[in-house]
Amino acid sequence: MMTPDEIEKLIPAETAKFRSPIPTQAISSDEFMPSIQTPKQKELEKRIKELGSRLAKHQGVSRRRFFQGAAGMAAAFVAMNETFGPLYGVSHAEAATPELANERAVSLKSQFIMDMHTHYLRDDTRLEGFVRSREAVGKAAWNPALAGKPQTLDDLKFANYFKEVFLDSDTKVALISGSGSEDPRDWFLTNEMKAQARKTVNQEAGTKRMFSHAIFMPGTPGWLEKAEADYENLKPDSFKGYTIGDNTNKQLSTHPWRLDDEKLLYPFYEKLAKWSKTQPSLANVCVHKGLYPPSVTQQYPHLLPYAKVDDVAKAAKDWPQLNFVIYHSAFRYTGGTWDEGWQQFRRTGRIDWVTDLAQIPQKAGVNNVYGDLGQIFAQSTIAEPRLCAAMLGQLIQGLGSDHVVWGTDAIWTGSPQWQIEALRRLEIPEDMQKKYGFSPLGSADGPVKRAIFGDNSARLYHFTQAQRSALAGDKVALAKFSYDEFGDGRTNLRYGYMQA
């Protein structure tokens, strides 16, 4: 977690005056320091503004309104190609012709997307940086709507969660995740809160729209008994843990652990294997790895070994009846160090620790290791798209396209629609395909992207075709239809922190 002094140097992301369809600089929660806007991102922002202004004027709408539509999203990707090179499938004609852009958007809106990595924060959290920053905005009169109004995390997060995930994007199903702490007051959400949110949404929808994690914290007092109680009382869809222990308060982390610790973890795996016989999705062990740049390494060097993936192979081999879903695909270079990841790849063909993860199936002879794209896809897409392409290339090459799963870490970066569009349009450049043997990603609705967006998670969580079909006529689908017809549209807001 960032310190108060670090947070003091940042501004709330939702106060940014320019609402681009795609973020033009890094946004973070309070888990890591966001990087400053890079020269390339400044160039991108300038291109988006200029192109958006010109096309909006031609179409007789405001620039903000233009950016809320499909043509505005297309224009942003045109600017991405002009800035970073031709990585995204888009044309000037699509950006300049709303009818053409809308036709494409409508043709893809029914695409099945399971976002199994989403967040919001509890109302009574002590992690109040988000709230305090919004109150400061009101006091400074930057946003008159906030002046004199007490701010809560419900205003900042959950009030927007349903809208931005289910109405402002093509996401069909989402999983509410979280993060634990040695201090019970600093859990993002308690396991009970996640289960209650799942129950509320699914009851209102009349279908299975939402899944939820239960966080487990090996080594902490009574952790295994708590996991048993959560299984009995909450029936989570899967369990998630952080091998570095307390990721929110790393200075408090006294219980880091390894996936291959036979004494500590294997009794838990034994229970999961047993429970999964009646609830199959509990075979999924979701594990936070990576996001441990050099700056964090300097502060907490003793936790570094637990952020790597050298404990995954043995656990996966010893427990073939379980699935090990590695969140963030263990990518190391978060925050302001994305370029280090790109330069490392250019020099060596490797990316810490994504390459290590991708090589596990071949080296260990296992087929139960998965890579999640949460946070790393969002951040690398706007920082260095070629690194994004390289990571996808390696993960698909090593794990298989049927072992890469979609996650956005929303709603830190606002509605996940821009990330969905980025993957739909992204292609690995031909020179990288030839040099490294990467397979092409293919079309927006081709087999590779369909697998990543939803088919793989549907298989992992035993989400049936009948359940998919039921979504088309439930209350969420009706709400989205009405919203698309009469709503104000996507806000293009982001939530969290950014550099001034």
The H-or-E segment that residue 486 falls in is: helix 475-486
In the predicted model, is pLDDT for residue 395 greater than 90?
A: yes
Share of the chain above pLDDT 90, in %: 67
Determine the Cα–Cα distance for residues 418 and 399; give it in Å rounded to an integer. 25
483 or 320, which is more confident? 320
Average pLDDT over residues 289-309: 95
23 close to 53: Cβ distance less than 8 angstroms: no
User: Other C-beta atoms within 10 Å of 138: how many?
Assistant: 17
In the predicted model, is pLDDT for residue 335 greater than 80?
A: no
Which of 105, 18, 107, 110 is closest to 69 using CA atoms? 105
In the predicted model, is pLDDT for residue 427 greater than 50?
A: yes
Average pLDDT over residues 66-80: 90
What confidence category does residue 382 fall into, taking pLDDT thresholds of 50, 70 and 90?
confident
User: Which domains are delineated in the chain?
Assistant: 17-108 (no CATH), 114-479 (3.20.20.140)
For the chain, what is the mean pLDDT?
Answer: 87
Determine the Cα–Cα distance for residues 122 and 105; give it in Å rounded to an integer. 34
pLDDT at position 183, please?
87
Among 187-196, 345-354, 447-456, 483-492, which stretch is predicted with the lowest mean pLDDT? 483-492
In the predicted model, is pLDDT for residue 17 greater than 90?
A: no
First to last CA, the chain: 19
491 close to 23: Cβ distance less than 8 angstroms: no
Residue 120 three-state SS: coil
Residue 213 three-state SS: strand
In the predicted model, is pLDDT for residue 123 greater than 80?
A: no
Residue 439 three-state SS: coil
pLDDT at position 411, please?
78
pLDDT digit string (tens) for 489-499?
A: 666 555 555 56
What confidence category does residue 159 fall into, taking pLDDT thresholds of 50, 70 and 90?
low
Give, in order, the Cα–Cα distances in Å from 226 to each of 61, 68, 191: 55, 45, 10
Among 90-94, 146-150, 308-312, which stretch is predicted with the lowest mean pLDDT? 146-150
Q: What angle do helix axes 191-205 and 223-234 make, rounded to 10 degrees?
A: 10
User: Other C-beta atoms within 10 Å of 256: how many?
Assistant: 20
Residue 413 C-alpha from the chain's centroid:
9
Average pLDDT over residues 167-183: 94
Q: What residue type is assigned to position 81 of the chain?
A: N
- Calculate the CA dihedral of residues 48, 377, 120, 461 and round it to 10 degrees: 140
Determine the Cα–Cα distance for residues 83 and 90; give it in Å rounded to an integer. 14
Determine the Cα–Cα distance for residues 434 and 20; give it in Å rounded to an integer. 34
pLDDT at position 122, please?
52
pLDDT digit string (tens) for 30-54?
A: 555 666 778 888 888 899 899 889 9
What confidence category does residue 234 fall into, taking pLDDT thresholds of 50, 70 and 90?
very high
Give, in order, the Cα–Cα distances in Å from 189 to each of 202, 492, 498: 18, 25, 23
The DSSP 8-state label assigned to residue 426 in this structure reads B
pLDDT at position 144, please?
46
As given in the structure block, the two tokens for residue 143 are 């946003």
In the predicted model, is pLDDT for residue 137 greater than 70?
A: no
